[in-house]
DNA sequence: GCACTCTGTCAGTCGATGCTAACGTTAGCG
DNA sequence: CGCTAACGTTAGCATCGACTGACAGAGTGC
């Protein structure tokens, strides 16, 4: 499977990563185009350190992938991860249906 | 339109709201079934105050709707809001395509 | 009006997190 | 090997956000 860690953990990690505006901007930047860390950092008014930390968070959430090439590190957005997140959002309602069914059974007992 | 506030602000508010595990649990709880505030609070081991604040955050993000009935306040998840969020996530890549096109034009100049 | 219920709001505490500055690490070049 | 470039990592600081306890308000029944 694609889930070495529990699914809700990974979804939570992605949502926490996306909660930060700057991380969303970074994700948009590496969507479709692979970019190097310094290249990304140059786009923002914060230190490279801060951007590097954001990249770490995004990477650990699975939203971006890292590839090394010499001293450079290239990043790209993982669309599959976003799809997984979108599916999990749908799951909110299917879980709700399960609970509704359970309630009905309780009433019938 | 459905957007009195800029779209990215609303998306950001939703993501920030969903970043909190307890708020996700609350959202699941009111997905499909309308529930009262106290009823929701009873499901968790935190004070009603905390739950009330979570409900406020969720409401301001647009993820849930509030309806008053007597002294009670009933909450339900707004699936439309989640759909809007999912669409915004897709938008990450369409924006990327726009940028890619712009880059091509630059190269051609 | 009085009491009781259901709920939101305010003030204050404490841990989480985003930031900067200084340092460590790895790859390539002479 | 020495030097530089491109990164990540650590320590320390400031702000944010989740929580609790005490209080306030609106609705219902007596």
Write the pLDDT tens digit of every residue in A47-75.
999 999 999 999 999 999 999 999 999 99
Buried b (16+ CB within 10 A) or exposed e, B17-30: bbbbeebbebbbbb
pLDDT at position A9 is 84
Q: Which residues of chain A are at the B interface, by a Cβ-Cβ cutoff of 8 Å? A: 12, 15-16, 18-19, 21, 24, 27-28, 31-33, 77, 79, 82, 85-86, 89, 92-93, 95-97, 99-100, 103
- Chain A residue with the nearest C-alpha to that of B16: A19
Which stretch of DSSP H or E encloses residue B104?
Answer: helix B79-108
pTM of the model: 0.86
At A7, the pLDDT band (50, 70, 90 cuts) reads confident
How does the average pLDDT of chain A come out, rounded? 89
Write the pLDDT tens digit of every residue in A17-37.
999 999 999 999 999 999 999
Of A31, A85, A93, the CB nearest to B31: A93
Tens digit of pLDDT at every position of chain B (109 positions): 555 567 778 999 999 999 999 999 999 999 999 999 999 999 999 999 999 999 999 999 999 999 999 999 999 999 999 999 999 999 999 866 666 666 565 555 4
pLDDT at position A102 is 61
Greatest extent of chain A over all pairs of C-alpha atoms, in Å? 67
Task: Give yes or no for a contact between A75 and A37, defined as CB atoms under 8 angstroms apart.
Answer: yes
Q: Is the pLDDT of residue A108 over 60?
A: no
For the residues of A53-108, what is the DSSP string, one character each? Answer: HHHHHHHHHTSEEEEEETTEEEEEE-HHHHHHHHHHHHHHHHHHHHHHHHHHHHHH
Q: Is the CB of B55 under 7 A from strand C?
A: yes
Buried b (16+ CB within 10 A) or exposed e, A8-35: eebbbbbbbbbbbeebbebbbbbbbeeb
pLDDT at position A98 is 63
Tokens 């450079």 -> residue: A72
pLDDT at position B94 is 80
Average pLDDT over residues A74-103: 85
Q: Is the pLDDT of residue A89 over 70?
A: yes
Share of chain B above pLDDT 70, in %: 82
Which stretch of DSSP H or E encloses residue A35?
Answer: strand A35-36
pLDDT at position B7 is 73
Share of chain B above pLDDT 90, in %: 76
Nearest CA to CA, how far is A99 from chain B (Å)?
A: 9
Please indicate whether, in this complex, the C-beta atoms of A32 and B86 are within 8 angstroms of each other.
Answer: no
């Amino acid at each position: 499977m694609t889930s070495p860690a529990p699914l809700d953990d990974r979804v939570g990690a992605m949502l926490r990563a996306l909660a930060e505006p700057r991380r969303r901007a970074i994700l948009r930047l590496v969507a479709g185009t692979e970019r190097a860390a310094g290249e990304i950092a140059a786009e923002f008014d914060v230190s490279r350190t801060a951007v590097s930390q954001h990249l770490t968070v995004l990477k650990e959430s699975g939203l971006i992938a890292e590839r090394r090439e010499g001293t450079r590190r290239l990043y790209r957005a993982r669309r599959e991860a976003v799809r997984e997140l979108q599916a999990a959002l749908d799951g909110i309602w299917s879980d709700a249906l399960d609970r509704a069914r359970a309630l009905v059974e309780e009433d019938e007992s």
